[in-house]
């Protein structure tokens, strides 16, 4: 294996190709059952049992604010190595293959793309006519980034709770 | 005697003797004349009687002749009547013959109608038979269609099972693909050491893909076959329905023909009745013709008898006329005889008178 090549797992969301470094992906699984978790953020699908290990499952499309094209029948899950040896399931539409991409075929992310959620996108690789968006999955599922967005969500939730409380009081009086 | 005495007295002696002789002769003549007169008177009386008889006979003969004429007229009338009767009988016979031939034609017509009805009946029977055959054929077709339906249903069941098998193959291919992917990831993470394993993983992945594609092709073939089966099923059901409709139409047609057959049978029956009535009519007409023939022959006989009678009467008439004329001749002859006898009597009486005077 040449040094200027990286091995990526190729997968798709709504027909768009994405790539993730094989070192970030432990395995690919078909998810039979996901148990929803109360008060979880919208992109958290729930938890599932992976050979006795309970892991959280997130929907990458929801995480990326991509509108659902179709509800895929078979839920394909990338099992990703998160921080602190945590394992997180990431739902994608399909997983195609493991492929090598030469560094020369990778273009660095334009600044404008990485302005808001910096460093989630490592770059864009070309394969013939196709473009492959290379993702930093470990960063995407990191506690830090997740909690940042979760905090925003929880704020909204708390606001709703406050509103509900006020409404309840108003009804009682 | 007194007369004799007178004569004797009147005669001289010589003469007396002579006178006495003469006187005896005269007396004898006188008595003879008296007898003659008497006989003539008797004859006259007889002639008169005979004349009366002849007169009566003539009257009777005239009456007889008249009666015979009446009889002749009557027999003429009988003859004429018989002839008229004969003519009437002839006319009646003609009329009866006309009626008879009319009846004959009616009988023939009714027989023709009857034959036509029988023909129509046999045709109707043939049609009913053909309809029944068609019904049986339709039933055979429907059985065939039912078999097709069952076969297609069977095939569909088998296809469902094959579909499940292809589903299982697709499932296995998916799982194999997943295994190959994971193997490839492991191999890639192993770096240079996993290179050989990566090739195997790739080969497994290709096989999984091929298996999935083949299963997919099989599935689409199964779906096409299912669609074709559904079309066949639909067509077969339609055919079944049409065969039922067809059978119903045939049954309706058979029913209609049966009704027509009833009507034809009714017509044939009526024609039979008509024919038998016509036959009876013909028999009656024959009887009437026979009776008329008898009447005609009786009339003929009457006419000829009347003619014979007439001829006999004419002969009788002639005889009666002859008799009348004979009676008349007898009467005439008798009249003549009587008148002569009257004259003779007158002369005889004169003679008697003379003789009486002579004898005095």
pLDDT digits (tens, 9 = 90+) for A34-74: 999 898 888 888 999 988 989 999 988 888 877 776 665 56
User: Do A120 and A109 reside in the same domain of the chain?
Assistant: yes
* Contact residues, chain A, for B171 at CB < 8 Å: none
- Per the structure, the count of domains in chain A is 2
pLDDT at residue A74, rounded to an integer: 60
CB contact under 8 A, A1 and B192: yes
In eight-state DSSP terms, residue A117 is S
| Encoded tokens for B236 | 């077969």
pLDDT at residue A3, rounded to an integer: 65
User: Do A87 and A105 reside in the same domain of the chain?
Assistant: yes
Say yes or no: B278 contacts chain A, CB-CB below 8 A. no
Q: For residue A25, what is the nearest residue in chain B, using CA coordinates? A: B185
pLDDT at residue B209, rounded to an integer: 92
d(CA B339, CA A29): 194
Of A146-155, B160-169, B289-298, which range is least confident? A146-155
Of A122-126, B6-10, B62-66, which range is least confident? B6-10
> Look-up: residue for tokens 């050979």?
A51
d(CA B360, CA B338): 32
pLDDT at residue A7, rounded to an integer: 92
User: Do A46 and A79 reside in the same domain of the chain?
Assistant: yes
How do A25-31 and A75-81 pair as beta strands? antiparallel
pLDDT at residue A70, rounded to an integer: 66
User: Do A25 and A98 reside in the same domain of the chain?
Assistant: yes
CB contact under 8 A, A97 and B182: no
d(CA A47, CA A56): 4
Domain that holds residue B136: 2-359
d(CA A69, CA A16): 11
Question: Would you say A90 and A9 are in contact if contact means Cβ atoms under 8 Å apart?
Answer: no
The pLDDT confidence band at residue A8, using thresholds 50, 70 and 90, is very high
Pick the closest to residue B129 from B243, B263, B250 (CA basis): B250
Q: Which of B87-91, B203-207, B306-310 has the highest mean pLDDT?
A: B203-207
Pick the closest to residue B232 from B289, B322, B159 (CA basis): B159
Q: Is A13 helix (H, G, I), strand (E, B) or coil?
A: strand
Model confidence pLDDT, tens digit, residues B109-121 = 888 888 888 898 8
CB contact under 8 A, B205 and A97: yes
Name the H helices within chain A. Answer: 60-63, 137-140, 143-172
What is the average per-residue pLDDT within B232-236? Answer: 89
Name the H helices within chain B. Answer: 2-10, 14-189, 195-359
CB contact under 8 A, B198 and A9: no
d(CA B152, CA B225): 10
Complex ipTM more than 0.90, yes or no: no
Dihedral of alpha carbons B257, B259, B265, B267, sign: negative
* Contact residues, chain B, for A30 at CB < 8 Å: 174-175, 178
* Distance in Å, alpha carbon of B176 to nearest chain A alpha carbon: 12
| Encoded tokens for A164 | 């509900």
pLDDT at residue B3, rounded to an integer: 58
User: Do A75 and A131 reside in the same domain of the chain?
Assistant: yes
User: Do A146 and A71 reside in the same domain of the chain?
Assistant: no
For residue B211, the tally of other CB atoms under 10 A from its CB is 17
* Contact residues, chain B, for A78 at CB < 8 Å: none
User: Do A35 and A78 reside in the same domain of the chain?
Assistant: yes
User: Do A152 and A118 reside in the same domain of the chain?
Assistant: no
CA B73 to chain centre: 42
In eight-state DSSP terms, residue A12 is E
In whole angstroms, how far apart are CA A149 and each of A65, A112, A144, A156, A158?
Answer: 12, 20, 9, 11, 14
* Whole-prediction pTM: 0.55
Question: Would you say A63 and A43 are in contact if contact means Cβ atoms under 8 Å apart?
Answer: yes
d(CA B4, CA B23): 7
User: Do A31 and A49 reside in the same domain of the chain?
Assistant: yes
The pLDDT confidence band at residue B210, using thresholds 50, 70 and 90, is very high
Pick the closest to residue B290 from B114, B100, B117 (CA basis): B100
Buried b (16+ CB within 10 A) or exposed e, B321-359: eebbeebbebbeebbebbeebeebbeebbebbeebeebb
Q: Which of A136-140, B181-185, B276-280, B286-290 has the highest mean pLDDT?
A: B181-185
- Per the structure, the count of domains in chain B is 1
User: Do A108 and A173 reside in the same domain of the chain?
Assistant: no
In eight-state DSSP terms, residue A9 is E
The pLDDT of residue B187 is above 90: yes
* Best of A98, A99, A137 to mutate (most B CBs within 10 Å, chain B): A98
CATH number of the domain that residue A37 is part of: 2.40.50.180
**In degrees to the nearest 10, what's the CA dihedral of B140, B142, B147, B152?**
150
Find the angle CA(A14)-CA(A19)-CA(A21) to the nearest 5 degrees. 150
Work out how many CB contacts closer than 8 A connect A with B: 35
Buried b (16+ CB within 10 A) or exposed e, A38-72: eeebebbbbbbebeeeebbbbbbbbbbeeeeeeee
> Look-up: residue for tokens 């059901």?
B237
| List of residues 6+ apart from B100 with CB closer than 8 A | B282, B285, B286, B289
Model confidence pLDDT, tens digit, residues A104-130 = 888 876 666 555 555 788 888 988 889
* Contact residues, chain A, for B175 at CB < 8 Å: 30
> Look-up: residue for tokens 């499940």?
B164
CB contact under 8 A, A30 and B181: no
pLDDT at residue B173, rounded to an integer: 92
For residue B248, the tally of other CB atoms under 10 A from its CB is 11
Q: For residue B180, what is the nearest residue in chain A, using CA coordinates? A: A97
pLDDT at residue A10, rounded to an integer: 95
The continuous run of DSSP H or E covering A172 comes out as: helix A143-172
The pLDDT of residue A169 is above 80: no
Say yes or no: B190 contacts chain A, CB-CB below 8 A. no
The pLDDT of residue B179 is above 90: yes
Buried b (16+ CB within 10 A) or exposed e, B170-209: beebbebbbebbbbbbbbbbeeeebeeebeebbebbeebe
| Encoded tokens for B343 | 């004259």
CB contact under 8 A, A98 and B189: no
Domain that holds residue A151: 142-173
CB contact under 8 A, A28 and B189: no
* Contact residues, chain B, for A23 at CB < 8 Å: 189
Q: Which residues of A touch B (CB under 8 A)?
A: 1, 7, 9, 22-23, 25-30, 74, 95, 97-98
User: Do A172 and A104 reside in the same domain of the chain?
Assistant: no
Model confidence pLDDT, tens digit, residues B324-341 = 888 888 888 888 888 888
Nearest CB to A22; choose among B174, B185, B205? B185
The pLDDT of residue B166 is above 80: yes
CATH number of the domain that residue B161 is part of: 1.10.287.950
pLDDT at residue A114, rounded to an integer: 54
Q: Is B246 helix (H, G, I), strand (E, B) or coil?
A: helix
Say yes or no: B179 contacts chain A, CB-CB below 8 A. no
User: Do A12 and A56 reside in the same domain of the chain?
Assistant: yes
* Contact residues, chain B, for A1 at CB < 8 Å: 191-192, 195
* Distance in Å, alpha carbon of B181 to nearest chain A alpha carbon: 6
CB contact under 8 A, B185 and A25: yes
CB contact under 8 A, B192 and A22: no
* Distance in Å, alpha carbon of A2 to nearest chain B alpha carbon: 9
Torsions phi, psi for B65 (to 5 deg):
-60, -45
The pLDDT of residue B295 is above 90: no
CA B349 to chain centre: 96
């Amino acid at each position: 294996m040449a040094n200027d090549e990286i091995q990526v797992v190729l997968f798709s969301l709504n027909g768009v190709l994405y790539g993730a470094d094989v070192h970030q992906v432990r395995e690919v699984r078909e998810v039979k059952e996901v148990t929803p978790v109360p008060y979880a953020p919208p992109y958290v699908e729930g938890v599932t049992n992976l050979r006795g290990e309970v892991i959280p499952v997130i929907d990458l499309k929801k995480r990326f604010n991509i509108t659902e094209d179709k509800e895929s029948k078979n839920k394909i899950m990338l099992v990703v190595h998160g921080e602190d040896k945590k394992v997180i399931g990431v739902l994608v539409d399909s997983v195609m293959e493991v492929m090598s991409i030469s560094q020369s075929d990778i273009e660095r992310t334009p600044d404008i793309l990485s302005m808001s959620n910096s460093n989630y996108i490592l770059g864009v690789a070309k394969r013939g006519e196709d473009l492959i968006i290379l993702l930093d999955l470990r960063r995407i599922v990191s506690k830090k980034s997740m909690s940042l967005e979760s905090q925003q969500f929880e704020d909204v939730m708390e606001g709703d709770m406050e509103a509900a409380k006020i409404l309840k009081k108003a009804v009682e009086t | 005697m007194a007369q004799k005495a007178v004569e004797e007295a009147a005669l001289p002696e010589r003469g007396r003797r002579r006178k006495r002789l003469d006187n005896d002769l005269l007396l004898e003549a006188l008595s003879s004349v008296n007898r003659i007169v008497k006989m003539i008177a008797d004859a006259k009386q007889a002639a008169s009687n005979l004349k009366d008889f002849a007169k009566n006979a003539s009257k009777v003969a005239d009456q007889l002749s008249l009666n015979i004429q009446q009889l002749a007229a009557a027999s003429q009338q009988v003859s004429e009547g018989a002839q008229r009767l004969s003519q009437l009988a002839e006319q009646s016979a003609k009329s009866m013959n006309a009626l008879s031939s009319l009846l004959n034609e009616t009988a023939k017509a009714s027989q023709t109608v009857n034959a036509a009805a029988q023909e129509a009946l046999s045709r109707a029977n043939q049609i009913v038979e053909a309809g029944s055959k068609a019904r049986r054929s339709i039933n055979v077709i429907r059985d065939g269609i039912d078999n097709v339906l069952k076969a297609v249903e069977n095939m569909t069941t088998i296809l469902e099972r094959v579909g499940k098998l292809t589903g299982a193959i697709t499932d296995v291919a998916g799982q194999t693909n997943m295994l190959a992917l994971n193997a490839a990831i492991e191999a890639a993470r192993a770096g240079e050491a996993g290179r050989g394993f990566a090739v195997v993983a790739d080969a497994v992945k290709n096989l999984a893909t091929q298996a999935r594609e083949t299963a997919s092709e099989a599935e689409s073939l199964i779906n096409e076959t299912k669609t074709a089966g559904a079309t066949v099923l639909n067509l077969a059901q339609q055919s079944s329905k049409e065969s039922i409709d067809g059978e119903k139409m045939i049954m309706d047609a058979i029913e209609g023909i049966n009704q027509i057959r009833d009507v034809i049978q009714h017509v044939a029956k009526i024609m039979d009745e008509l024919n038998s009535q016509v036959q009876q009519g013909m028999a009656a007409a024959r009887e009437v013709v026979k009776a008329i023939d008898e009447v005609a022959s009786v009339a003929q006989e009457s006419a000829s008898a009347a003619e014979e009678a007439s001829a006999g009467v004419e002969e009788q008439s002639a005889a009666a006329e002859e008799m009348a004329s004979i009676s008349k001749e007898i009467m005439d002859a008798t009249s003549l005889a009587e008148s002569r006898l009257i004259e003779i009597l007158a002369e005889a009486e004169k003679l008697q008178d003379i003789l009486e005077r002579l004898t005095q």
